[in-house]
Each structure stands twice: as C-alpha cells, then as structure tokens.
Amino acid sequence: MSDERVEVEEELADELTEDEAADILDELDAIEDDRLARQTDEGAQQLRRGERELVLTGAHWPEPDNDETMIINMGPQHPSTHGVLRIMMELDGETLVRSKAVIGYLHTGMEKTAEELMYIQGSTNVTRMDYASPLSNELVFSLATERLLDLEVPDRAQWIRMLLVELNRISSHLLFQATNGMDLGAVSMMLFGWREREEALRVLEEITGLRMNHNYIRPGGVAADLPDGWQESVLKLCETVERGIDDYDRLLTENPIWQERTVGVGTVTTEQCLALGITGPILRSTGFPWDLRKEQPYLKYPEVDFDVVYTENGDVFDRYRIRLFEIAESIRIVRQCVEKMPPGDYRVQDRKVTPPPRSRINESMEALIHHFKLFTEGFSVPAGETYVAIESPRGEIGCYIVADGTAKPYRLHIRGPSFYNLQSMGPMVEGAMVADAVAIVSSIDPILGEVDR
Amino acid sequence: MPDAPPREETHESEHDDDAPTELVPAPPSDEVAAAILERFDDARFVESHTQPVVYLDRSQWRDVAEFLRDEQQFTMCVDVTAVDFLTAVGRSLPPGVGPERFEVVANFLSHARNRRIRLIAQVPATDAEIASLTPLYPGVNFPEREVFDLFGIDFVDHPDMTRILMPDDWDGHPLRKDDHPARVPVTFKEDPRPS
C-alpha cells in the first residue's frame, strides 16, 4: 500500500460518508491491480517467446523447438555496442543459443546522397562512413574514380596516401584497444588508448587540417602537400605509440584477468570466415594470412617492407593481439614512408581533374576558368563500372561505381567490412556466456557508420 | 598461399587496354570467364577496366555461383549489390544481353588463385526476383537483405527476407531512381511557414 493511498484514506475519512469513501477506495484498488497486471504481463514476461513479435518488430525468427529459452535485447543504446547496434540474444539460462544483429539505426542513405554529389565532392561523403578510418574510405573512392578515368597518380601522392592510410590504421587500432579495454573493464587501458590516439589524430590534423573526416585524399591525388616539419611530428608519434603499445602489452597480454576473459572466447574458424565473407583481423586471427596490401597490392606497398600478422586460435585474445602487432607493422611502414618519400607533385597536373594552384588564379585567366568550372560543374567520368578493394583496418573495403559519363556517379556502393564482419557474431556467440557477448562484439570492432551507411 | 604472385587483374595493374569504357565483347582473356562461357551458353564476357565481368541470365545465377565455388575455388562472395538503370542513358551491354531495369552485381574472390570475377544479371522491374546465394555463401545474407530493402528485389530462398536498414513499415525502396530524396517532408520547429 502506497503512501498516497494512506493520505487519500485519511482525507476521505474526514470529508465523506463511509459508502462514498469505500467506492473511491475500490476504484483506487482497481487502478493499482491494473498497474500490477500490466507490469507483469507486458514487462519482463513479454520477452518470452510467445509474444515476441510484439516486442521484437523488425526481427522475425523461426519458431523455436522449446519454450525454455528467453530472448533479451542488448542495445541499441548499450555502451558496449559501439554506437547503435542492437543485438537480439536467445538465452538458455546464461548461455547464448543464438544471436541476431539488428541494424539500421544509423542509416542515413549515404549511397543515395553519393548519387547527388559530384565526384569532386564525393570524398566528403564516403569519409563519413567508417569514421574511425576515414582515409581508407577516401582512398578506395579515389582509386575507383581514378580507374574509371584511367588516371595515374604521381609517385609522391601515392606515398603520401600510403603514409596517411597507415597513420589512420594506427589511430583506428588504438581506438580499438581503448574501447576493447573499456568493454572488458580495463579502464586504464581505455585512458592509455585514448591518450595515444589523440597524438595520432593531432598528427593527422597537422597534415590534413582536420582530426576526422579529412577529405584529404581526393581523385587525382591529395588535397595539399605535406606541411613543413612533418617528418619530426610523424617520427615523434611513432616513438610515442611504440611506447604506448609496450604499455598495453605489459598491462594486458600476461594479465590473468584479461586472459580469463578473452582466451578461447568467441572462436571462429577459417571456413566460417570465408563462407561469411569476413575479412581483416578476424580472418587473420584464424590462421589465414590474407592481407590485400600483400596479395593484391595497391599504392606503393610492394616497395615497403612489412609483415602480415596472423594467429591460429581465432578467439578474442588473438584479435586483440593481431591489432596490437598491426600497429607495430604500421609504424614500420610509416618510418619507411618518411625515409623514402620522393620529391614531386602531390596530385596530377590535369586541370580537368584537379584545381590549379591558388597563386595561378590571380594571374591566369585560363586557371580561373578551370578553377570555376571544376568547382561548379565538376569533371565528368567516362561511362563504365568498376570495383576496387583495399585493406582497411577492418578488412576489405570495396567501392563499386557505375559511371554514366556525367560528373556524378550513377551508382556508388561501398562494401563496408564491418557490415560483413558483423555476421561473424553468429558462430562466435554460440555457446558463449552473456558476459562474453560484450567481449565478442568489441573484438569484431564494428563501426556502425559503415554498417548502416 | 600468401606467396602466390598477384595476377593481372589486381589493383594498380597496367592500364593498357585501348578503349576501357566501351563494353566490347572480346574472346575471354580470363580463364575463369572462359570456363563459365564454355559451361553456360547464355553467358557473355566483358573486360571492364582490366576486371573480368560475366553477364548472365538470372536463371543461371545460382548455378554459375555454384560452379565458381565448387569447381573454380572461389572461396568468398565478397559483395552483392544492385543498380537501378531506370534513368540511365547510353547504357552499353554486351550483345545478346537484353537490358532490364535492375542489375544484380556480385563480386567473387578466390583466395587460392588470388583473382576476382564479377557476375551481373538483369532483373526486370515487373518480376523483380532472383535466386539467393545464401545456400552457397551464407555471408551474402546481409547484403541480399540490403538489396531487398533498398531496391525491392526479392531473393528467392533467402532465409530471412526482411528489411535491414530501413524501418519495417517503410514505404518504398530508397535506392530506386524513382524514389526521390526529400519525399518525406521535414518541418523544423522554427520554420515560420505553415506545415
């Protein structure tokens, strides 16, 4: 009996006759009963399978064999779901029977938007898909456009692109280390990861002008040449990050709590990965050393020395280790980029594709016209279609463009690795505990901006 | 396997073809495409920017995928997507392929042979359906749902043919060319005009 009701009863005793008071009290009882009934009928109870469709719209499962299991929703606002991922989990006690990712909460129709934007504007759009490694998106879009244009980018531009993409791989993997630590309760790991990532973003800002969504790699080259003194900041970053990953290694790798949470959890096999279209660190963690940078090289990757990191067990621990070692490999590549950066132009000098230098606009009518035409009409791309794939920090990112001869793509499709990698959750969570689900989702490292596009 | 040298159709391979934009039927320079053409009569080969592309009749969609998987070592279906050609002008297709409104596009990757191939099938608007590849490649589950959601193309035998990105009660298929952006009006709170 609530306090309110006691008050009401006292009030009624003063003002009303006994009959009237009884009527009102009956009414209050009925309301209370109704509330209790609703709480038990529609609350927790409704997550039982029978009435599942009422609660779980948008996700229909075939009827189960037994009534012993229960369906629980995780997300879309759960902090460990990296944005707005919703996971339906079917539980038998505390064991996961199966899971299903429900996505689309971040869908903003970016592929539709891409059809409205000129190629010269396109990289501003694709860069917002995978916001943790925006430069990979820009690179794959630019490579696809350049292939349609049959355009060869100068050497220096290719080296700059490679440097930037590797710096971005470092910052993306640092983000993974931070969030992965946080999800499993290693809060100091989160702070460490964030600390080094901030340094990486600072260097990216120095070079591109922005911390994220750089729009730096564009069709025809890059937006601007490297700033003065870039070597020092990049090399300093390499040292900082190297110290950082030593810290992480000491903090986590041998840590018994960490191992307890990750070793043997969420295992997946090579066969499952190949069947499910899973690429990147998850595939490499199963003992399958497939890296597009080595297998189907682009940019200047054949000219730098680096190793493909792979492990055999395919569990959460291995995925953490692979990403840790990939940071070290990226640092190796970055150091070689600093060493081997050739002189030359940072973009093609084709006035139909890239704008003239700012200084020329003041003196040359032709340059002014080129500049004006390029930014109002864009450049047209001959009709055709192509698919280009590169290795992003999360796996194979692909760009399929259908061009119809105008300045805008007729159709642009991005094959986001996170979108496919999310499907690996199915085999990974089977038989795992509820608490492991957090570790598993975290180890997939999905970026929901890319999943939903 | 990682030591296998990259083949010709990889990135950054030399752009030596004379007219890459024209879809000229050429004798299959690609051994996988040649094998498909030998097995399936209706298939047409095109080289598009050094990449092998095979146009198929949609009735052979799954058969060719099965052929690729079981006999040609194509271990992964990398991507499935679609294109709506409703408003396209000057579309070029190889001879013998009747243009339809939709094209379903699938990219395959063979890790063992380190090569790629792309299959394209025409799908008419009146009967927008094609066989699902999920029995062969379970990984196309999500992308096929995405194509269903955004283009309204039905994948027959798909285990879970529901919308994936748009809300369940959404009307229309956003990536179709006749589904205009800003179709749903948005009124802002401070907008002085009557809504």
In this structure, are A152 and A289 located in the same domain?
yes
Residue of B83, B89, B143 lying closest to A402 (CB–CB)? B83
Tokens of A305: 């020395």
Does a structural domain hold residue A101? no
Instruction: Give me the torsion for CA of A337, A340, A342, A348, rounded to 10°.
Output: -40
* A295–B167 CB contact, under 8 Å: no
Question: Mean pLDDT throughout A402-410?
Answer: 90
Task: Examine the domain organization and report whether A30 and A148 are in the same domain.
Answer: no
Same domain, A158 and A10: no
Q: Decide if A277 and B116 are in contact by the 8 Å CB cutoff.
A: no
* A10 and A118 together in one domain: no
Measured between CA atoms, the residue of chain A closest to residue B110 is: A274
CB < 8 Å from A in window 133-152 of B? 137-143, 146, 150
Indicate whether A30 and A121 sit together in one domain: no
Helix (H) or strand (E) holding A412: strand A409-415
A154 neighbors A163 (Cβ within 8 angstroms): no
* B12, B142, B162: residue with CB nearest A419: B142
Residues in B closer than 8 angstroms to A410, CB to CB, are 83, 88
In a domain, A100, yes or no: no
pLDDT value of position A12: 62
Question: What pLDDT score was predicted for residue A37?
Answer: 58
Both tokens of A67, joined, read 């009534």
Q: Domain of residue A419: give its range.
A: 110-347+379-452
Percent over 70 (pLDDT), chain B: 79
How would residue A281 be classed by pLDDT, with cut points 50, 70 and 90?
very high
Q: State the Cα–Cα distance between residues A115 and A410, nearest whole angstrom.
A: 6
pLDDT bin (cut points 50, 70, 90) of residue A202 is: very high
Q: Do A404 and B140 touch (CB under 8 A)?
A: no
Q: What ipTM was predicted for this assembly?
A: 0.81
Lowest pLDDT segment from A137-151, B13-27, B83-97, B113-127: B13-27
Tell me, yes or no, whether A26 and A152 share the same domain. no
| Residue A194 to residues A173, A188, A199, A244, B160, Cα–Cα distance (Å) | 11, 10, 9, 10, 39
> Which pLDDT does position B27 carry in this prediction?
61
Residue B81 pLDDT greater than 90, yes or no? yes
Q: What is the pLDDT of residue B26?
A: 52
Phi, psi of B104 (to 5 degrees): -100, 130
What is the distance in angstroms between the Cα of A277 and the nearest Cα belonging to chain B? 5
Residues A254, A121 within the same domain: yes
Q: How many domains does chain A have?
A: 2
Distance CA B160, CA B144 (A): 10
Quote the mean pLDDT of chain A.
84
Phi, psi of A100 (to 5 degrees): -145, 130
A27 and A142 co-located in one domain: no
Q: pLDDT band for B134, please (50, 70, 90 cuts).
A: confident
Residue A155 falls within a domain, yes or no? yes
The number of residues in chain B equals 195
Q: Are residues A321 and A426 in the same domain?
A: yes
pLDDT exceeds 70 at position A80: no
Query: Which structure tokens are listed for B3?
Result: 């030591």
- Residue length of chain A: 453
Cβ pair A277:B160 closer than 8 A: no
- Option in B4, B141, B174 nearest A423 (CB): B141
Q: CB distance B137–A277 less than 8 Å?
A: yes
Residue with tokens 């000057």, as numbered in its chain: B90
Long-range contacts made by residues A113-119, C-beta under 8 angstroms, separation at least 24? A113/B181, A114/A409, A114/A412, A115/A408, A115/A409, A115/A410, A115/A411, A115/A412, A116/A408, A116/B181, A117/A408, A118/A377, A118/A378, A118/A379, A118/A407, A118/A408, A119/A145, A119/A219, A119/A378, A119/A379, A119/A381, A119/A407, A119/A408, A119/A409
In a domain, A53, yes or no: no
Domain-located, residue A92: no
B107: its two tokens: 């990219």
Q: Is the predicted pLDDT of residue A53 greater than 70, yes or no?
A: no
Domains defined along chain B, listed by start: 31-86+94-156 (3.30.460.80)
Please give the pLDDT value at position B11: 44
Of A1-15, A47-61, B25-39, B112-126, the one with minimum mean pLDDT is A47-61
CATH of the domain at A217: 1.10.645.10
Alpha helices of A224-356 — where are they, by DSSP H?
A: 230-248, 256-262, 270-275, 281-284, 292-295, 316-340
Whether residue A20 is found in the same domain as residue A129:
no
Q: How far apart are CA B27 and CA B136, in angstroms?
A: 29
Same domain, A11 and A141: no
Neighbouring residues of A422: CB distance < 8 A, sequence distance ≥ 6: A85, A101, A103, A444, A446, A451, B142
Say whether A409 sits in a helix, a strand or coil. strand
Q: How many CB atoms within 10 Å of residue B156?
A: 11
Which positions in chain B touch A408 (Cβ < 8 Å)? none
Distances (CA, A) of A40 to A34, A37, A52, A56, B145: 10, 5, 15, 18, 36
The verdict on residue A307 lying in a domain is: yes
A53, A273, A387: which to substitute to probe chain B, counting the most B Cβ within 10 Å? Answer: A387
Whether residues B49 and A413 touch (CB distance < 8 A) is answered with no
In a domain, A203, yes or no: yes
Chain B residues lying within 8 Å of A114, measured CB to CB: none
The closest CB to that of A398, out of B79, B137, B139, belongs to B79
Judged by average pLDDT, the poorest of A167-176, A232-241, A367-376, B15-24 is B15-24
Under DSSP, the state recorded for A357 is P
In a domain, A90, yes or no: no
CB A143: neighbour CB atoms within 10 A? 24
CA distance A377 to A121: 11
- Quick one: A269 and A407 in the same domain? yes
